[in-house]
Every structure is written in structure tokens, then in C-alpha cells.
Structure 1
Amino acid sequence: MRQRGIVVRPGVVGACGVSLLVFLTACGASGESGAADRVTGSGALPSAVAPSAPSGDSGTGGLPSTEGVQGAYGRVVLRAYQNWWDAQVKAFGQTGSDSSWLSGVASGKALSDSVATMKQLHEAKLVMKGAPRTAPVVSTLTPADKPTAATVKDCLDVSGWHQVDAANGALKDPAQRLSRYPATVKLSQVNGSWIVIDVTREVGKTC
């Protein structure tokens, strides 16, 4: 199945050892050959990263063009994946958000991690500004004839997504943070809707 890369939206940042901070913080992955790309200081987009379409884009422009059952399900899965990012961008970008903003697009560990991230941002009086760039591809749909489970492979570029002071907008990124790394996202069909249930971030690798 061929898919064009689509642009979706975010997760979060902070100190090592907290699930939400895995999005941007390089914990124990520095100094290794082939490790995830990192940025320091202002967090400018690395020259080696080819920019994709702006994260504000939405709709069907990047959905898979494959026809048939697999292609149709693939398009629905990528919509659900983008909806999950949209919800996180909204929840992490405002101080008055709550878990209800996320519960319709995620469940299980994916939901608990997102809610934990949101709460930590609130407690630290921070919000997320900007958005990551993504290039998701549906790698598996099972069972093949009528899928209820899916896996999405992605290369997350978070170099343009920053944590800032909620009051004055001052940049509050960690001194060393991730800029780009692979992620594997599991989705499941629940009551007729696709939701994200688990996210694995390969922070020791680049893509």
C-alpha cells in the first residue's frame, strides 16, 4: 500500500523520566551513532530535514490513494490518527483543557500518557506552541477483509513544536531535546470508531 505523507499534530516535552516528555526530550540517547536527531538552543529546523506540508493542513490531501477494502480502511485509519494529533495540539496548547478533549480519540496507555502530559503542562504553567510534522504510513491492517486493528509507522519531526510559558510566551524548551525520531502507533476499532491505543517512540533512532 502506498501512502503520501500527511501532516498531523502533537504530543509534549519536559524533563527526563516522564512519559509526556519523551516527545521532545532526549533521555539517555546522547552521543550514540545513529541516535535520534537533536536540537539545542532555539530549536531551528535541521537543514537535513526536508520540510513537509504545514501542520495546519487537514482533510484528505495526504490520505492513501490505494483502492479497494485495504485502501478504504487505510484512509479511515489515517483520519483517526490525524484526529488524535489534532486533539493533542488543542489540549496541549491551552491552559483550560481537560481529559474530555482526548478521550474520544484515544484509549488505554495512549490516553493515559496524553492526559499525564496535559496535566504536567498545566502544573508547570506551560503550553505547546507550533506543531510537529509527520509522514504516517499504515503498515498493517488486521484481519485483512474487515480490519479492527491497525499499525501506523511515522517519522515525527518536532523541531517546530515548542513548550512556552503560558503567560508570556517565553520559550521553555529543554537545553537538549529531540527533533526527529520514528514512532509506531497502534489503533483499534471500538464501537465503530478507530482510536489510538498505544504509541512507541524510538527515541534512540532517527528517520
Structure 2
Amino acid sequence: MALTACGSSDDSGSSSKSSPPASTSAPAATSASPDPQAQAKDEVLKAYDAFWDEQVKAYAQADIKGTDLKKYATKAALGGAMGDVLVMKKAGTATTGAPTHRVEVTSLTHSGETPEASIQDCLDISNWKTIRKKSGKVQPFPSNQPLRYITTAKAEKWGKQWMITELTPEGDRTC
């Protein structure tokens, strides 16, 4: 919310009412350059959110066709989602609703050829239900299934795009 509040007051006030680009670009460059780490973390979180949006779409239809999952996930994360979709398709299930999460970047490394990030998420699946596709009947969660648990992820920056490379649900670590 702080980013939205700062961005909307700065952007709407200066870009729509003052036309000189010099005054608009100088504060933007000054505010963006002091903390490239914060900007990179924001990019990682945007990619992670987009990955989850696309994964929810894929699970809702039990198919990755028509989603941009491959744009945000690769390696083990993409393989895991594709495997889940295949199991769901064979079982005649899909999902409805969506999980919510509270996510943070726990580490960010720019050294080496490929920047990397680690993510920790408190995933809440209480409103993300598995259903039988033909009947729409909700499948109950297993009795030992926590509804809120830690999920960790790894991301790598490929060119200009952050990609989710691993996603590890840690169901024994509740949050």
C-alpha cells in the first residue's frame, strides 16, 4: 500500500499537470536508483504473484492450455504444476476459488551470471477447493491437511524476466 500511495500521488501530480519531462524524470531517477535491491524484490514478488495467478487458472480447468504458466515458471516449479494438472485431469477434478498468501523475498543475490531469489510464503488454501468436474461436488481436505502452511520458492532472473524455478510446500510448517 505504501508503494501505491507514493506512486499515485507522485505520478498523478507531476506527470498529468506538469509537462516538463526534466522535473518528472529527475525525481524518478533519484527515487529509483538508491535502492535497486528493493526494485528487484518488487519484480520477484510480481513474478511470483503472476505465477500463482496462472497456476490457479490451470488448476481451475485442469489444463495449462490458455494460461501463461510457462511465462513465469520453469524447471521444477513448472514440472510440479504440470504434474498436478495431469493428476487432476485423470481424476476428473479441478479447483475453485483461489489461495491467498503473505509472501516475502528472504534472499536476493545479484552475483554470478544469473540473479537468484528465495521466497517464503504463508499460503492459505481454505478458500481453494478441489471439486469433481462432472458434479461440482467439493472434495473435503484430508483431515491432516493444514489450511495455512509455509511454502518456499526459488526464482532466477532470465534476461529481464524473473522465473519461479522451484516451489516447495512445507505442509508440516504451519503459519
Q: Separation in 2 of the partners of 1:79 and 1:174? A: 29
Tell me which amino acid in the other structure corresponds to 1:166: K
**1:73-126 CA distance string (max 9 Å, x none):** 111110000010011010000145439642221111111110000111111111
Tell me which amino acid in the other structure corresponds to 1:98: K
- Give the drift of 1:167: 2.0
- The answer (yes or no) to whether the contact 1:126–1:166 under 8 Å persists in 2 is yes
- Give the drift of 1:200: 2.1
Moved over 3 A (4+): 95-101
Q: Separation in 1 of the partners of 2:67 and 2:121? A: 26
Question: Do residues 181 (structure 1) and 149 (structure 2) align?
Answer: yes
In structure 1, runs of 5+ residues without a counterpart are 5-59
Question: Do residues 200 (structure 1) and 168 (structure 2) align?
Answer: yes
TM-score (norm 1): 0.63
Report the secondary structure of 1:75's partner residue: helix
- Give the drift of 1:199: 1.6
Tell me which amino acid in the other structure corresponds to 1:105: Y
Change (3 A) 1:147 1:95: closer
- Give the drift of 1:203: 1.4
Q: Separation in 2 of the partners of 1:138 and 1:149? A: 11
Tell me which amino acid in the other structure corresponds to 1:112: G
* Among 40, 50, 57, the residue aligned to 1:73: 40
Change (3 A) 1:136 1:106: same
- The answer (yes or no) to whether the contact 1:95–1:166 under 8 Å persists in 2 is no
Q: Separation in 1 of the partners of 2:154 and 2:81? A: 15
Q: Separation in 1 of the partners of 2:67 and 2:129? A: 23
Alignment of 1:121-160 (within 5 A): 121-143=88-110, 148-160=115-127
- The answer (yes or no) to whether the contact 2:54–2:67 under 8 Å persists in 1 is no
Q: Separation in 2 of the partners of 1:185 and 1:96? A: 22
Number of residue pairs the alignment of both structures matches: 146
Match of residue 108 from structure 1: 75
**1:150-171 CA distance string (max 9 Å, x none):** 1111111111111001122101
Normalized per residue, which structure has more helix? Answer: 2
Match of residue 15 from structure 1: none
Report the secondary structure of 1:203's partner residue: strand
Q: CA RMSD in A?
A: 2.6
Q: Separation in 2 of the partners of 1:83 and 1:126? A: 23
Over the matched positions of the two proteins, sequence identity in percent amounts to 28
Larger Rg: 2
Normalized per residue, which structure has more strand? Answer: 2
Q: Separation in 2 of the partners of 1:89 and 1:201? A: 15
TM-score (norm 2): 0.74
- The answer (yes or no) to whether the contact 1:141–1:147 under 8 Å persists in 2 is no
- Give the drift of 1:185: 0.7
